[in-house]
Amino acid sequence: MTQVNLLDLGIEELKKFLSSLDEPPYRAQQIIQWIHQRGVTDFDLMTNLSKSLRVKLAAHSTIEFPAISLERASQDGTYKWLLRLPDGNSIETVFIPERDRGTLCVSSQVGCGLNCSFCSTGKEGFNRNLSLGEIIGQVWIAARQLEKYGNAKVTNVVMMGMGEPLLNYDPVIGAMALMLDDLAYGLSKYRVTLSTSGVIPAMEKLKTDSPVALAVSLHAPTNELRNELVPLNKRYPLEQLMPVCKNFFPVGSKRVVTFEYVMLAGINDSEAQARQLVRILTFPCKVNLIPFNPFPNTQYTRSDDATIERFRQILLAAGINAWTRKTRGGDIDGACGQLAGEFKDKTGRNERWLKTGRLVPKSINSRRG
Ligand code: SAH
Ligand code: SF4
């Protein structure tokens, strides 16, 4: 029997694994508690397990994490970890403390294949999906590191690191279940958010598979512009995406979808575009305006604060709950959309890009209003 990495198993799979060792299912709960709640990974220290089970576990399983290859702390209390995976790829995880909460931004893939024009991860290309253990391992590592430093705690998780979580469906769902599980991280379903660029079939499935909060990366009020910023829009255009968002949470649940909208100077930030946005947001929702975070070689620039505020006021005046996201961790390249990791692109996109020196289609750069 090959050794199983217990970190890769959700609770049901762990029960199955234990039954293959002739052990009762309740042992799964004890093991989950040891690993995730107490941070114990040495079977000998799991004292409520029988000696014979500990011997079996040591023979047939391991508990393996990505290794921390770099930890950077920002002046504002933000941490960024570069994590090295066994195959040599690296991913990034960021922790952002605020007055009343601590948010961990978790990656779901090595790179991203969706190639949004304003996103550093997307521009680097795609390598592979993360395993369940590599996703929940980010939470485990952050929790342990923060425990060591003693002044902050993970209270929220956003699946907003590298990758499109809905294109790595099962491991992401399994990892989020552990985030919510009282025996593991015990986070509230309101405090775990999945962010997607709009993979409609997977959004439909998510409705019944996980109770977490949903954020949708909109970034443009028309198909024409969104096709260029978020190429996935060509496959799942606004007239299909918006009804799915409208019906995502059951009527009367009071929960609403959050729309993310990156503010790119001269591209999607005009007053006319704010009014166009109002016209497509015909149902209760929330809007998060994200000031663009630059990265090397991008041709975009961030909208200035006054423009962002004007845009926001138009949404507010139309009764839309709109916020501007504070940018944090910029001094360690840990802000939204700046995560790059270290990996070999399998799409060849990065190479093409560096050759042409052009990161976005020319047409975008000349567009206004
Ligand atoms: N793939 C998912 C989740 C990861 S990206 C998605 O696209 O939703 C998380 C958020 O960061 C998305 O809203 C994304 O559009 C935004 N983002 C990407 N690049 C950015 C940048 N350079 N500046 C600001 N936000 C960015
Ligand atoms: Fe992928 Fe999200 Fe970046 Fe688009 S914004 S390339 S979907 S990680």
Looking at the CA of 112, which ligand is closest? Answer: 2
Ligand 1 pocket check for 195: Cβ under 6 Å: yes
Q: Tell me the mean pLDDT in the region 80-98.
A: 94
Is residue 92 among the annotated active site residues?
yes
Ligand 2 pocket check for 340: Cβ under 6 Å: no
Mutate to test the pocket of ligand 1, among 94, 106, 119 (most ligand atoms within 8 A of CB): 119
Q: Which CATH class is domain 4-62?
A: mainly alpha
Confidence of residue 2 (pLDDT cuts 50, 70, 90): confident
Confidence of residue 181 (pLDDT cuts 50, 70, 90): very high
Report the pLDDT value the prediction gives residue 368, as an integer from 0 to 100: 32
Per the CB < 8 A criterion, the answer to whether 106 and 135 are in contact is yes
Confidence of residue 363 (pLDDT cuts 50, 70, 90): very low
- Phi and psi for 320 in degrees, rounded to 5? -95, 130
Ligand 2 pocket check for 105: Cβ under 6 Å: no
CA-CA distance, 82 to 78, in Å (whole number)? 13
Report the pLDDT value the prediction gives residue 357, as an integer from 0 to 100: 38
Nearest to 250 by CA among 214, 291, 225: 214
| 339 or 272, higher pLDDT | 272
State the SS3 of 166-227.
HHCHHHHHHHHHHHHCCCCCCCCHHHEEEEECCCHHHHHHHHHHCCCEEEEECCCCCHHHHH
Catalytic entry in 92, 124, 134, 228: 92
Q: Tell me the mean pLDDT in the region 303-307.
A: 97
Which residues fall within 8 angstroms of residue 282, CB to CB, at 6 or more apart? 242, 246
Is residue 336 among the annotated active site residues?
yes
Report the pLDDT value the prediction gives residue 1, as an integer from 0 to 100: 60
Ligand 2 pocket check for 197: Cβ under 6 Å: yes
CA of 255 to the centre of ligand 2 (A): 24
Ligand 1 pocket check for 23: Cβ under 6 Å: no
CA-CA distance, 104 to 338, in Å (whole number)? 15
Which runs of consecutive H residues, i.e. helices, occur in 265-359? 271-280, 305-317, 349-356
Residue-wise pLDDT tens digits, 209-254: 999 999 999 999 999 999 999 999 999 999 999 999 999 999 889 9
CA-CA distance, 60 to 185, in Å (whole number)? 25
Q: Which CATH class is domain 67-365?
A: alpha beta
Residue-wise pLDDT tens digits, 110-123: 999 999 999 999 88
From-to residues of CATH 1.10.150.530 in the chain: 4-62
The answer on pLDDT for 369 being more than 80 is no
From-to residues of CATH 3.20.20.70 in the chain: 67-365
Question: What is the position in ligand 1's atom list of the atom closest to the CA of 215?
Answer: 8
Report the pLDDT value the prediction gives residue 189, as an integer from 0 to 100: 98
